[in-house]
Structure 1
Amino acid sequence: MPMVTKDEERKEDAVWEPVPYLGRSVRVVGDWVSVDAAQTPHEKNKRGELGKPLHNWYFNRTSRDPLGRIATANASADRRNAIESHIGGAPRGKINPERTEVADPKVMTEHIKRVAKHLGASDVGIMRVHPSFLYKEGRYPDDGSGVGGPSGMVSAEETARRFPYAIACVYAWDYDMGRAHRHRIGDAAYHFGAESLRSTYANLAGYIRELGYGVATRVATPMPVALGAGLGEIGRHGMLITEKFGARVHLGDPILTDLPLVPDEPIDIGVEDFCKVCRKCANTCPTNSISTEGKGVVNGVEKYKINWETCYRLRPHVMEYWDICMTCVAVCPYTKPDVWWRTVAVRSIKWTPIPLRGLVTRPMKWIDDRFWGKLGRKRVQWMSHDSGRLKLPDGTVMPEEPERGYYYPLKENTRRFDILKEKLKSKA
């Protein structure tokens, strides 16, 4: 039985290659089991499996911020006012029967990347599809039911044969807005960034259909595709770190297609080496969800283990202040403005031989702590929002901070979370 390689046609009786190389930041050391979309956090929450507080937070909250109410449908007074609720449910068009022939896949790859950036993507990468990177039971549900299942899709292997290329895009948040982590300003950067990227993907999928080629959406797990497509490396905080924007990017769901393209290769920008000595995200995480220790093996992959549940469960208890935490992104030393000195810093790590990178990463970590602080507290003003001013829900007005912002949760919020955890344990 022949082994399928990237240069051979994928036939029905072929055996797939092992999971492809994804760069230095992760290492496949065991059996990789495809992710079951129905067991991801939001889907479990939709079914009520994470408890009433989280379930009510997801379905029954209305944001105090009008911008927040149109940024995400679940926080709106009327879902029809949030455009993002319509993007996923928009009807899919048919494939144009008059196919545009591709004489040179390399030229088409460059063209598709230019189109994606014109449509709003900050960066684009291509990867050859592997079944391990596709959801276990077909596609990720987009009807709000929280129920997995094939939804008309065939097996992961057949899907990978039919659509051999994945297009992954990222959308970079505004740097200054992203510094207002645990705040409505940061929420706006996050949610509207997600909305923009979903629109980009929807338009790009339509464009490929108009070229006469097939598209599959919401079938691939974003992180391994992004790593294989050369968009970045995975950090200690479990987020994608890109060369140009750091971790302040939205990833979204890749597009699979049969449009002939040329895959990119994983990159090495020194994340593996820097995260070993940095630990800034772990030390500042409000819920201690990021490990300060070494890597562990998760689903056959050696990487830093993230406790997603402790991170996720905090949200109902702080929703009067913010929606999305983003502290790990804001404090990451790679997350800096896209200016010349940041480029020099990243490239100095990237171009240093791997055995010598420790001589570069430790001084850079010290410089980052010295000039940027160990916890980002910069005051950010945007529209009517000001992170240096805070009015509590009970009407109390906190003293104005001239330089620093109020970024919750503080210790009292975390203690409330810990108390709730103990109560839940005692009832179990």
Structure 2
Amino acid sequence: MTTTSKPNYKKTLRACYLGFITQAIAANFAPLIFLKLHNDYQIPLGMIALIPTAFFFTQLIVDVFCAKFVDRIGYRASIVASEIFSAVGLVALAFLPELLPSAFAGIMISVVLYAIGSGLIEVLCSPIVEACPFENKEKTMSLLHSFYCWGWLGVTVISSLLFTAFGIDNWKYVACFWALIPLYNIYNFATCPIEKLVDSGKGMTILQLFKSPLFWVAVVLMVCSGASELSMAQWASAFVESGLGLSKTVCDLAGPCLFAVTMGICRVFYGKFGDKVELTKFMIGSGLLCLICYIMASLSHNAVVALAGCVLCGFSVGIMWPGTLSISSKKIPTGGTAMFALLAMAGDLGGSIGPSAVGMISQKAGDNLQQGLFFGGIFPVLLVVFLIILKFMKESESEKN
């Protein structure tokens, strides 16, 4: 009598945890060495500023690519490729600037490589976990996304410690050190069980998704989620520096790191206790708290209160992105890879629009960052409005699809 062992989906979950940590490394390592790249290779700061632009633009292209082609290529091949691109890109960052005639070209090639990996991770890890037979998908999704926060915190703190201990001149070794995580995770994704989210040929097409009102509500929610999160996160260091007058190193740790910690705490909290709280209500409460945080940061004349608003904002936005994905998957069960890819693209779009809008408003207000952040409060307001709209939309929409 032969017994077949059950698939070990916990291994799949661990691989996706490391996938999100890899994405956090890809998104947050290069900004730590911007000034070093500027000084070592004599690259103007205006060109250095193109690095995050290239990173997020590449992710947007990957999102569109995934919506169209990932189902044909297959989840396993695509997610393994994500780790390969991430590892190669990080290692290339250490060597290509020296090997190519143009150091900037070497940097940009490296950024595009690991941005491809990051984009694939962003699109694929959520549906891979969603397809696993876990009991409470919403809790699992929230906990999964918390690993981006811990990766963000880890790459910032550990890299800073390594730079302090061995000197920032050794940043190339640190880049190669971080490449070990995606290299190890290649094996995990190559061997873990991966299920299909939707049977072949049964997933909705992009055109079918575009015809669904529920999908467009989800798109708006994702844009607002990305904008609410990154409008504060990307300006946190500058805001703390201008408001409290601390050194840039301390501000990098006090602003973005504490933001990442509180965002991770929110995701872990819902991952542990989500079965006791209805997700839409929790997200509406989070949106209202986010608005309060933006008001605290933008209107308070007390620097400590403003900093508290900035840090607490991390907790308020924690559930927005994974919560929207969970709601969308539940209400549009045949959305498939195309839906996850297009929603990721909407989140990235919001993450680009939000910080840019805050920056432009601040500039028009005489470089007053608090004025810019006050405008940023519009994104959690819109999120709450569309969550209320979603609650009143007919449940039969998902059945019709």
TM-score, normalising length: structure 1: 0.27
* Higher RCO, Cα 8 Å, sep 6+: 2
Higher helix share: 2
Higher strand share: 1
Q: Which has more radius of gyration?
A: 1
